[in-house]
Amino acid sequence: MRKIVAFLALMLLVSLPKHVVSADCSPYELYSVDSVFKLDGWLLIRVSHWSYTCEMIAGEWENRVADFDSYLTLTDGREAFLIGGSGSLPDWTTSAGFLNGTLYAIRISRSRESYKNVTLTINNKPKNFTLTRNVKVKEVYRFTGDCFEPVLRCVLIQYPNGTTTKTCNGIPINVSLFKPPVGSIPGSPATLNGRNLIFSFNGQKYTFRLPMNMNASQLSLTVLEARNGIVLVNNHVVRLPAGVTIENVPVLFKIENRTIVPIRIQTDFRGVVCNNSGSESGGSNTQSKASPRICGPGIFLMAAGIPSLLRRAKQ
């Protein structure tokens, strides 16, 4: 009897799976700054994004890449805008690139709209119906150095009977010839000493205290100058919980009231689109037409004031 029990126990051990199922797996997001390109005092920054999910492989939960995206963001040191993207998403609404040395951005919107009311008789009773059509609007913008000016607007309308109409106003642009930015500027490294961030600017050494809500372990900052202030670019590969999108990723920082604060990336670049007078329009987070952004000689006056601002934080 003992031999039979021992034999059965041995067979049970042999039949156990070789791989133990692991529950130590959770989806997450990775963001990384690939390059920084300077453009008329602005910084054009390319950020890569990997989205990881969990998958059962050989009896174990393992992370694998589910999506990959690439973003182009533009910052003046005060605000930042998402002007283009590409990757695994099936329908990017914005894209950007260079054509003959000029930066262009494309914005695409899709909608379904009502266009006609009809009455049909069904079982001797009139029934009212509303016909809808699909509308696709593609807008192309050219960066002037101060703002994005509209250069082309195309409207494609598809009707339920299969009829399609397309109208375009503006200058034809071959978007297939768009090229990504080439090269990257190095900037000056910043060092962390505990909660103190130390860097040099214009030959002077400065120290700023990190806010308590800022995770120092995910920071590797480089100091760069933009037209409206200092930009601290995070070169650390940032790992965040699943679902965190580009506008909430700590990749760009600025100095405000002697404190380091994130620059939130706005996913709609309407705040940097020129208005009809050729200057910038005011978005929800930008100044209005009555108080336009500083440009021309005013830029140099503001740049001259940056060292005096930082001098107050000098060691």
Angle, CA 131 vertex, CA 128 and CA 135 arms, to 5°: 160
Q: 281 CB contacts (<8 Å, ≥6 apart)? A: 147, 270, 271, 273, 274, 275, 289
Answer yes or no: is 201 within a domain: yes
Within 10 A of 171 (CB to CB), how many other CB atoms are there? 10
In a domain, 237, yes or no: yes
117 contacts 124 by C-beta, under 8 angstroms: no
Per-residue confidence (pLDDT) for residue 88, from 0 to 100: 53
Beta bridge partners of 132: 114
Residue 6 lies in a domain: no
CB-CB contact of 94 with 107 (8 Å): yes
**Is 4 within a domain?**
no
Q: 143 Cβ partners below 8 Å, 6+ apart? A: 39, 40, 74, 102, 103, 104, 105
Residue 312, Cβ neighbours under 10 Å: how many?
Answer: 8
Query: What is d(CA 47, CA 245) in angstroms, rounded to the nearest whole number?
Result: 12
Query: Model-level pTM greater than 0.85?
Result: no
Q: Domain for residue 3, yes or no?
A: no
pLDDT digits over 155-171, tens only?
999 998 889 999 999 99
Give pLDDT tens digits for 164-215: 999 999 998 888 888 888 888 988 999 988 888 999 887 888 898 888 888 8
Q: Is residue 5 part of a domain?
A: no
In a domain, 185, yes or no: yes
Can you tell me the distance from the alpha carbon of 211 to that of 54, in angstroms, rounded to the nearest whole number? 33
Write out the residue range of the structural domain in which residue 92 sits. Answer: 23-311
pLDDT along the chain (315 residues), means of 10: 46 41 76 93 94 84 84 94 73 78 91 89 87 93 94 94 93 86 88 89 85 87 92 94 90 89 90 67 36 34 39 42
What's residue 276's pLDDT? 56
pLDDT of amino acid 297 = 32
How many Cβ atoms from other residues are within 10 Å of residue 291's Cβ? 9
Structural domains of the chain, count: 1
Identify whether 145 is part of a domain.
Answer: yes
